[in-house]
Amino acid sequence: MFELSQDHEDLRAVVRDFAEREVEPHIAQWDRDHEFPTHLMQMIGDLGLFGLVVPERFGGSKEEGGEGGPFTALCVAIEELGRIDQSIGITLSAGVGLGINPILSFGSDEQRERWLPDLVAGRALAGFGLTEPDGGSDAGGTRTRAERDGDEWVINGSKAFITNSGTDITSICTVTARTGTADDGRPRISAIIVPNGTPGFTVEPPYDKLGWNSSDTHGLTFDNCRVPVDNLLGTEGHGFRQFLKILDDGRIAISALATGLTRRMLELSTAYAKERTAFGKPIGSNQGVSFQIADLAMMAEASTVLTYKAAWLKDEHDAGRRSAAEVAKAASIAKLYTSEAAVSATRIATQIFGGNGFMEEYPVARFYRDAKILEIGEGTSEVQRMVIGRHLGLTA
C-alpha cells in the first residue's frame, strides 16, 4: 500500500525549511503588492523541485528507469510550499504540471532538449493555454484556430486565466487550437508551442484577483500568430486527449496544495486557541471551539490520505502497475474533497480567530481569499462529481 518514504520525508524537511526561511517573511508584502517573486524561481530550481519528475538527461532528478515515487515527491514539495503560501505553491504546481509535463509527456526529443533544461532549472517558466473566455469548463469547445500555411501554423483566438504566462522569465505557452475537422464532424484539437514574444501573440494585463496575488495570471490573444509546424506538440488532433491526461495529474497536485492549506489552518487555529483567552480561560477549552478544531484535524488527515493515495497510484501507473482509469478516478475524488475541505477549513479558522481573522495582519485572511479558487481550477467541483459519476458507470 502507499506510504511516504524516508526520502519523501527528508524532502519535506528541506522544502519546509526553505518555505519558512525564504517565503514566509516576505509573502504578506508580495501579496499586498501583487508581486511575482521572479528571483524565487531560480532558488526553487536550485533545490531541484521543478525537476522532480524529469529524467536526468533533461536536467531533472528522476533516474532513468528508476522508481521512488517522483510524482509523490512533487506533491510533498507542493504541499509544503502551499502550507506557507498558496501563490508560491501553485507556481510550482503549474510550472511542472502545466508547463513541463506537456512537453515531457508528448514532446519530441528536439522539443524536450530545447525547452526542458531551462524550465527545470527555474530559469524559465511555461504556461498552459486551455481555458477560453467563452468556454469555462467546456474545454472541448475550443474556438481558437490554427491553420496550416506552408511550414507555419497561423493561430487566431484567445485564452483566459493562464498561470505563469506573463512573467519576466516565461519562455513559452502551449495552447490548444482547432486544426481542422474529423470525419465524424468533431473539431480536431491540437496542441502547439508558442514562444513568448512571437509576433501576433499578446499577453494581456494581469488579472485583479481575489486571491493568489503573487501568482502570475493573464489572458492571451493570438492575432495571425505564426509559429513553425514543428511546434506541434504530439500528434495533430490529439491535443484535447493529451491535455485531459495533464489535467488528471494536475488535480492531484491541486489536492496537495489544498492539503497544505488545511494543515496550516489546523496548526494556526490550534496555537491560537491555546493562547487566546476569553472569560478567563483559553478559547480552546470551550467545546464549541475544540469541536471545530477537531473537524480541522479530521479534514487534514482525510486530505492527506486521499492526496497521497492518488499520487501513489500515479507513480504506480507510470511504472505500469496501475491503470489510467484508477488514477483519473482517484485524482477527481482527491481534488473534490481536498478543495472543498480547504475552503471550509479557512472559514473555520477565520471564525476561530474572530475579528483578528478578518485582518490582513493575520495569515488566515490571506488563506481565506486564496482557498476559493481550489474549487474552480483544474476542473470545478461540479466537473469532478461528473467525472466520478462516469467512473462509477452512472453517466455517459
Mapped onto helix, strand or coil, the DSSP state of residue 189 is strand
CA angle 179, 185, 191 (to 5 degrees): 25
pLDDT at position 69: 78
Please check whether residue 152 is in contact with residue 230, taking contact to mean a CB–CB distance below 8 angstroms: no
Whether the predicted pLDDT of 1 surpasses 70 = no
Whether the predicted pLDDT of 185 surpasses 90 = no
Whether the predicted pLDDT of 62 surpasses 90 = no
**Concatenated DSSP letters for 230-249?**
GGEESSTTBHHHHHHHHHHH
What the chain holds in terms of domains, given with CATH numbers, is 6-123 (1.10.540.10), 128-237 (2.40.110.10), 240-391 (1.20.140.10)
Whether the predicted pLDDT of 68 surpasses 60 = no
Please give the single-letter amino acid code of residue 37: P
Comparing 61-75, 96-110, 286-300, 313-327, the range with the smallest average pLDDT is 61-75
pLDDT at position 38: 98
Whether the predicted pLDDT of 357 surpasses 90 = yes
Whether the predicted pLDDT of 209 surpasses 90 = yes
Please check whether residue 194 is in contact with residue 155, taking contact to mean a CB–CB distance below 8 angstroms: yes
Whether the predicted pLDDT of 290 surpasses 60 = yes
Please check whether residue 252 is in contact with residue 334, taking contact to mean a CB–CB distance below 8 angstroms: yes
Whether the predicted pLDDT of 200 surpasses 90 = yes
Distance CA 299, CA 267 (A): 13
Q: What is the mean pLDDT of residues 201-211?
A: 98
pLDDT at position 2: 66
Please check whether residue 35 is in contact with residue 112, taking contact to mean a CB–CB distance below 8 angstroms: no
Whether the predicted pLDDT of 372 surpasses 90 = yes
SS3 content of the chain, % helix, strand, coil (to 5): 55, 20, 25
Sign of the torsion angle spanned by Cα atoms 214, 335, 99, 320? positive
pLDDT at position 300: 98
Mapped onto helix, strand or coil, the DSSP state of residue 321 is coil
Q: What is the mean pLDDT of residues 358-372?
A: 97
Q: Say which residue the cell 532538449 belongs to.
A: 113
Q: What is the mean pLDDT of residues 146-173?
A: 98
- Could you say which of 132, 340, 375, 378 is catalytic? 378
Looking at per-residue confidence, does 254 or 183 come out higher?
254
Distance CA 379, CA 246 (A): 12
Give me the percent of the chain exceeding a pLDDT of 70: 97
Let me know if 376 is exposed, middle or buried by CB neighbors in 10 A (0-12, 13-18, 19+): middle
Average pLDDT, the chain: 95
Please give the single-letter amino acid code of residue 51: G
Q: How many CB atoms lie within 10 A of CB 6?
A: 7
pLDDT at position 134: 84
Distance CA 128, CA 142 (A): 14
pLDDT at position 140: 66
Q: Work out the pLDDT band at 136, boundaries 50, 70, 90.
A: low
Q: What is the mean pLDDT of residues 366-392?
A: 97
Mapped onto helix, strand or coil, the DSSP state of residue 34 is coil
Q: The whole model's pTM is what?
A: 0.96
Sign of the torsion angle spanned by Cα atoms 148, 151, 157, 159? positive
Active site residue 378: yes
Distance CA 70, CA 89 (A): 17
pLDDT at position 46: 97
Whether the predicted pLDDT of 67 surpasses 60 = no
Distance CA 121, CA 102 (A): 17
Please give the single-letter amino acid code of residue 43: M
Q: How many CB atoms lie within 10 A of CB 149?
A: 11
pLDDT at position 65: 53
Distance CA 13, CA 237 (A): 43
Q: Work out the pLDDT band at 395, boundaries 50, 70, 90.
A: confident
pLDDT at position 243: 86
Q: Work out the pLDDT band at 240, boundaries 50, 70, 90.
A: confident
Q: What is the mean pLDDT of residues 188-216?
A: 97
Structure letter (DSSP) for residue 11: H
Structure letter (DSSP) for residue 186: P
Q: What are 95-124's pLDDT values in tens digits?
A: 999 999 999 999 999 999 999 999 999 999
